[in-house]
Structure formats: C-alpha cells, structure tokens
Amino acid sequence: MTVPYEHLREDFKILQQHVNDEPLVYLDNAATTQKPEAVLKALETYYHTSNANVHRGVHTLAERATTQYEGAREKVRRFINAPSTAEVLFTRGTTTSLNWVARSLGDLIIEEGDEIVISFMEHHSNIIPWQQLAKRKGAKLKYIELTDDGKLDMDDAREKITEQTKIVSLVHVSNVLGVVNPIRELTDYVHDKGGVMVVDGAQAVPHMPVDVQALDADFYAFSGHKMMAPTGIGVLYGKRKWLEKMEPLEFGGEMIDFVELQDSTWKELPWKFEAGTPNIAGAIGLGAAIDYLENIGMREIMDHEQNLVAYLMPKLEEIEGLTLFGPKKASDRTGVIAFNIDGVHPHDVATAMDMEGVAVRAGHHCAQPLMNYLNQPATARASFYLYNTVADADKFVDALKATKEFFIHGLD
Amino acid sequence: MALTKLDQLYRAVILDHSQHPRRRGVLDKATTQIELKNPTCGDVIQVQLTVEEDKITDVRFDGSGCTISMASASMMTDAILNKSVDEALTLVNEFSEVVQGNKPEHEQELGDAMMLAGVSKFPARIKCATLSWKALEKALGSDGTGVDGQLTHD
C-alpha cells in the first residue's frame, strides 16, 4: 500500500498551524503524539450517544458503553495478538502498568536475596518500581551494560541474568537511543534461567508490529497517548498464569463478585484489576487509534520511519560538532534521534529550534541513569512519526544548522 | 528568518557572559556554599560566598547548564559583589521581577542582569535564569547567617 503522506496530515488539525510564525514541525512524538480527527470524533460520538457507566447498568446506554469499552479491549487484543481479552488490562499508561507488575508480581515472587535485572537504557518508569521492590524485599537490582553504539550488551545480559534472577524488565525500544532490543532472544534466555520477562513497550507498539505471543514475554506494557489515543489510557498484557495468581492493587467497585462484612471475592480476569469506573472514553479512543494505525499498517509505519531515519542520518553525520546517540543503522532503530551540538546546551538548542517552528525535546528524557552512562547532563531529541515527511526532515536539518551557527558565530 | 527573534533572549552581552563567565571557580575560604539542581534539565550550580561583617566580599560559581543559566550566574556575581546581605537579597527579588517582565526599582544595581529581561517572553526558560539567584538566596538564608549544604528544587 502506498500511503498518501501529504494528505495524511490533513487528519491532524493541530499540525496545520504556525508556531512562532513558522509552519509547525512536530518532532516530539516520543513524548506524546497528535490525535487524528477519527480519534477525536470517536470520543465525541461516545459522549454524544453512549455515555454511561460500564458493567452495571441494565439500561440501553449502559449496554452500549459496555459493548464499546469491551470492544476496545478486543481491538487491543487483536492488535498485539494476545491469546485472550482476559489478559488485556486497561491502565492509566505504561507507568501504571509497570508499577502494577512490580507491586503485585513482585510481592508474589520476590524474596530476600533474589535478583531483578534491568538495563542502563531504561526510562525512570522501568527503574523506580523495581528499585522500590528491591528495597522492600532486600533483593538486588542489576543493570545490563550497553555497547558503544547504544545497543544492549548481549554478553553482559547473559552474565547478569542468572538462576537467582526472578524478574527481568527491559525496554523494547529506547526512548533516547531509538534502538530496538532483541526481546524474543532475551525472553528465551530469561525463561531458560527460570525468570519472568517484563517488557516496556511504550516506544514500540506505536511504531512497529508487536505480537506478544511471538515475543513470549510474560508482561508487556504500553501507553495510548504515544499512539494517537488520548492521555490517561494504557495497557498491561500479562500471561493468564501470572495474572490469576496476582492480587489486585486497588479495591472497590467494578472489581468484586461478592462483598461481605469481613471479606470479598474478586471478579474474574481482566476485571479483578480494574477497580472503579474506568477510563471508558479513553479506551474507546484507543480503539479508534488502533483502527487508524491498522488502516495504514504497522509494517508500513515502521518502514516510513526507518526511511526517514535513513534519509536523515547521512545529512546529520555531515554536520561538524554534532554528536548522535544510538545505532547509526536505520534498520536497528525507530524514528527517535537524540543528539547534542558541541558547546551548545540542549535547552538552548530546543529554544532556538522552537523559534524555527521545530518542536524537539531537551533534557534527560526521564532516563537519568542513561544520561550518566552516556556522560551527558542532557540531550536534545527529535522523534518522528508517520505524519512526519521528508520536508519535515529537511526543515529539521536546516533549523539544526541555523541553531549551531547562531550559538557559535552569532547573528550578523 | 525566525532565529532573529532569538536576539530578545540571547543578547550579545548574555552570550559573552556565558562564553566568558565572571568569577567561575572555587573559593579557598568560603563562609557559605550551596549546590542547587534543576532536575528538569539536569543543570547544576554551586555558589560559594565569603561574607564578612554582613558584606559579600567574594563570590564564585561553578556548574553546568545552558547559556541562560550560566550567563545569569555570571551576571549575578557582578551584581552582588561587595553588597550587604540585605542588599543582595533585595536584588534576588528584583531579578525575579525582571524575568517575569516587571520593572525593578534598582535597575542600576542589577547591571548586566537587566539584559535577561527578554527571558520573560520565553516562560519555559525563566527557571534557567533564576537558578543561580535561588542558590544565592538559599545560601544567604533568610536571617543572613547562611547555610551549608545541598538542596534541590523543582
């Protein structure tokens, strides 16, 4: 399928504006993505026609809302090829998903002296829940090293993951390096050692086909807002054998079967984890975002981003004094490009590029241990998505060159 | 081209302070010192002071940060050297007004730091400008006796 990218932008009203008198080039997609009309329309239609609470009403609207909410769960299941909707939990986002695993699974299986293994390229949301678990239980938290070109050091991974390792939690795609990690290979290794594999898929699911059964991961977490859905909705996929043993973290309405004075019983999966009124509109919006992405095709989206990276890399490498982080080969990565200009602080870079209408992120990207590992106080980061074009890439390079010129030589 | 607008923020004086900072380094005998971090961007600043009989007789700063934060720190050392603790604290307040787009009472005393008035047009960068001044304020302490230690703010 050939995607008419120049028309695709028309689905995103927000992209059709000027920022600081320049046409907006939005390159902060690793932080959050823009929403197409189809997603906004789905939210509006839900509130106009079907808004009611789910799972408890007999009336028509309650039935409609429940059907649409559970319909969204089925869309997610199909999208990531989960075996059943019982294994697809709606959460607030990746952070909540990972916290749930660290709390509930962690309390179930981690004992004093056990090992938990993560890597130096993790987002804070895949570090701190494990730090806290390790502190609660007296377990040991270990970090897998990286290679010089920003990949996971597989030799070190085999060294760090041992028979004492109960949980390994790794990012599928780094939000700084853009590198795609070999999850299946790692999962097999973890399972051989008797551990549980948890995957942070926040930067993967929006950008490439993800099949949780093919990856064989025990848990897989991602966020809606990074894939064109609203904020506040996310997913935790978990294998039934674990979810059934795990205790819910929140208690209240929606998640119970019978409540007696001193004890209660839980609903079956997936609802035992979803206490309170869920983010119904968010889930429906996520369903609409999945429809939008599937209509284009995840393989096509991945190819488009890699083509942009392949187009950009030689142009970026030509710029003197520009440091690029992560692998150079487009096929090893997604459209996340972290960089620094020698002698110019990334915050100054981001402000200057904003004046050119180019929105990039600057800072530690919620990955302070990675920044220390790379020996950088911070970096700038451009992250592309399917609505970005070659023209955006050209504008990015031009703005980068002008920014460098401004800070090195000043405006004459 | 749109970068011309950057001149409001990055005046020549600011670039000069950032590239050739005044009093960057370490004091042998500081009476009070502090380190402040801006966790959102990774900036770190250390401010050292020698306060003798209520007067700031020497000051140094060090750290890493963007053009705005480093220039602001350099300008701050110009402004507060040989000032009394009260005068310096007044300047901290005045500077915070300046970067919010308000006119200060003691424009003269702020000196080059007045050049950072353009920051008010870039709200995301106001914290960069105020980091060193906040560090100074913490170091002096409200009673003027100063504190030793490490603080973070957001």
For B7, nearest residue in chain A (alpha carbons): A411
Q: Write down the mean pLDDT value for chain A.
A: 95
Domain count within chain A: 2
User: Furthest-apart CA pair in chain B: how many Å?
Assistant: 52
Task: Assess if residue A15 is contained within a domain.
Answer: no
| Contact state of B6 with A406 under an 8 Å Cβ cutoff | yes
Task: Assess if residue A276 is contained within a domain.
Answer: yes
Residue B147: both structure tokens together: 């504190």
The single-letter code of the amino acid at A292 is Y
Contact criterion met (CB below 8 Å) for A139 and A133: yes
Task: Assess if residue B17 is contained within a domain.
Answer: no
Same domain, A344 and A374: yes
Which domain CATH number covers B45?
Answer: 3.90.1010.10
- B5-14, B40-49, B103-112: segment of lowest average pLDDT: B5-14
Task: Assess if residue A405 is contained within a domain.
Answer: yes
Task: Assess if residue B108 is contained within a domain.
Answer: yes
Same domain, A391 and A274: no
Q: A400 in contact with B at a CB cutoff of 8 Å?
A: no
Nearest to B6 among A21, A352, A368 (CB): A352
Q: How confident is residue A361, by pLDDT bands cut at 50, 70 and 90?
A: very high
Same domain, A370 and A383: yes
Q: Which of B16, B35, B66, B69 to mutate to test the interface with A (most CBs of A within 10 A)?
A: B66
Task: Assess if residue B77 is contained within a domain.
Answer: yes
* Domain boundary pick from A240, A266, A294: A294
Residue tagged 């030509």 (tokens)? A318
Task: Assess if residue B6 is contained within a domain.
Answer: no
Task: Assess if residue A19 is contained within a domain.
Answer: no
* A366 is a catalytic site residue: yes
Same domain, A271 and A153: yes
Contact criterion met (CB below 8 Å) for A97 and A236: yes
Same domain, A226 and A345: no
Residue A43: both structure tokens together: 């939210």
Same domain, A135 and A221: yes
Residue A407: both structure tokens together: 């800070």
> What is the DSSP secondary structure assignment for residue A333, as one 8-state letter?
B
Task: Assess if residue B1 is contained within a domain.
Answer: no
pLDDT at B154: 37
pLDDT at B153: 42
Same domain, A362 and A310: yes
Among residues B117, B139, B109, which one has the least CA distance to residue B33? B139
Same domain, A330 and A225: no
| Contact state of B41 with A407 under an 8 Å Cβ cutoff | no
Task: Assess if residue A9 is contained within a domain.
Answer: no
Cα dihedral A107, A111, A113, A118 sign? negative
User: Which residues form the domain of A60?
Assistant: 40-294
Query: What is the mean pLDDT of the segment spanning A217-222?
Result: 98
pLDDT at B2: 66
Strand partners, A144: A119
pLDDT at A76: 98
Q: A393 in contact with B at a CB cutoff of 8 Å?
A: no
ipTM above 0.85, yes or no: no
Which domain CATH number covers A276?
Answer: 3.40.640.10
Domain count within chain B: 1
Size of interface A-B (CB pairs under 8 A): 64
pLDDT digits (tens, 9 = 90+) for A336-350: 999 999 989 999 999
pLDDT at A410: 62
> In what helix (H) or strand (E) does residue A191 lie, and over which residues does it extend?
helix A183-192
Query: What is the mean pLDDT of the segment spanning A136-156?
Result: 97
| Contact state of A378 with B44 under an 8 Å Cβ cutoff | no
Q: Kindly list the residues from chain B whose CB atom is less than 8 angstroms away from the CB atom of residue A346.
A: 41, 66
Which residues, 6 or more positions from B118, have their beta carbon under 8 angstroms from its beta carbon? B8, B9, B11
Same domain, A290 and A151: yes
Same domain, A147 and A94: yes
User: Which residues form the domain of B68?
Assistant: 36-144
pLDDT digits (tens, 9 = 90+) for A158-196: 999 999 999 999 999 999 999 999 999 999 999 999 999
Task: Assess if residue A35 is contained within a domain.
Answer: no
A139, A366, A371, A378: the catalytic one is A366
Task: Assess if residue A29 is contained within a domain.
Answer: no
Same domain, A242 and A318: no
Contact criterion met (CB below 8 Å) for A410 and B15: yes
More confident call, A300 vs B43 = A300
Same domain, A205 and A315: no
